[in-house]
A = this chain, B = another copy of it.
Amino acid sequence: MSKAEAFQALTIETLPARLGSVDALTSRIGKDSSHWKVKEVGDGNLNLVFIVTGDKGAAIVKQALPYVRLVGESWPLPLKRSFFEYHALVRQEARAGVGTVPAIYHFDEAQALIVMEFLTPHIILRRALIEGRMPPKIANDLGLFVARTLFRGSDLSMTARGRKEDLALFADNVELCDISENLVFTDPYYEAKLNRHTSPQLDALVEQMRSHTELKVEAQRLKHLFATKAETLVHGDLHTGSIMVTDDDTRVIDPEFAFYGPMAFDVGMLMANFWMSFFSQRGHEREGSRAAQRDWLLGVIVEIWETFRVEFERLWHSERNGMLYSRSVFEDQGDDAGSSAALIGLISQMEEDMLGFAGVEIHRRILGLAHNADFENIEDTDSRAACEARALQFATSIIINAKFSMSLEDAVTLARDCDDGRLPLDSDEGHSQ
């Protein structure tokens, strides 16, 4: 398929003919494309995803569509997101290591398609968590992934020119950033058209939140950070649905929202999705207690943060070769204390921002357009609403308290309290109706 050809969406029928001459694919799955089996498995909101199986093996073909798949052609979305996904995957693999993202076999910019490794027997982490599974390596793997990608994509590590060129490259990812800017940071805080929430159970709480001035100001301040704090190449959509796992392996997928943003954004979104899993567990207890799963999830959150900090600190000392926090004014003068103080300041700022981003992510997954299966799969709406209300109130509290030096550990304690019905706000109208 030549790059000059106009974009055409693949179908199960046309795929073998159209990709049958791509060596990067045929060399892996087999040359005889007439024998290929093609299955469309895209369950996401945006793209086509095919599993293509030949005599020798299988691969994934992911193709962007010029609109949002979930909504249809009325919501156009540029094919170029595939370009950003490809470039982000390449950088993430270089920064976090081979085997942290799917291997890339082929990229066709004009057709907006990426041929990549078929991960098996991996499943989506969100599904694993809903099923009550506890993949043992995820906290460590994810902590390392975020520390390495965020550190190595920043001015702490890159050359000034390198980072600025990348910043300019990804600055063109306007439409996907726009989705986050509006759907994540704005829509949940007023009656936006695309919103939905569990009603009427949450109505009163939602109304309360939308008239909570301090909360809205904080959410908008976080949007300001998101849009302007161009620290590093972030994944941009790092929730548990963007992670595939086995007991032995963890892969981060789908970085099409990648852009230069705040370091704390990926970490915050990740934490938020573990917290949402935590708050959803009581809704999944029909087949037995999820107490152990709940404990484990809070432990994962603590371990991710701890792993992140330790690895970030290691990189700070061993790979801080960029222009920020110059060694010339610290270590080179024998001022190791200065270097450590600067690191502590930076991490403490990240902790603050991270809690804020986590809170906003929780809000938007319960009040906005894109909901999480963690809650959605709870069939009993009263039970779901109770879980959601606890999560919403927890989220409000961490957003408000983040700037008053709440620590991640405080937040974990608070999550436990909220889940046990000891809510942080003086009113619990939201879930008692």
Contacts and interface: CB of A to CB of B under 8 A. Distances in A.
A140 to B, nearest CB: 28
Instruction: Give the one of A161, A213, A329 with max B CB within 10 A.
Output: A329
**Chain A: interface secondary structure?**
helix
Interface string A310-346: 0000000000000111101110110101100110011
Interface of A: 155, 160-161, 164-165, 167-169, 171-172, 174, 177-178, 181-182, 186, 189-190, 192, 210-211, 213-214, 216-217, 219-221, 223-224, 227-231, 323-326, 328-330, 332-333, 335, 337-338, 341-342, 345-346
B171 A329 contact: no
Nearest to A191: B333
Contact of A328 (B178, B192, B332): B192
Q: Which 3 pairs between the two chains have the least Cβ-Cβ distance?
A: A168-B168, A168-B171, A213-B338
Given A160-B181, A228-B229, A325 B174 contact: no
B171 A328 contact: no
B164 A167 contact: no
A171 B171 contact: yes
Given A167-B168, A221-B345, A227 B323 contact: yes
Contacts of A213: 335, 337-338, 341
21 contacts: A160-B174, A160-B178, A164-B174, A167-B167, A167-B230, A168-B171, A171-B171, A181-B323, A182-B323, A186-B329, A190-B328, A190-B333, A211-B333, A213-B337, A213-B341, A214-B341, A216-B335, A217-B338, A221-B345, A224-B346, A229-B230
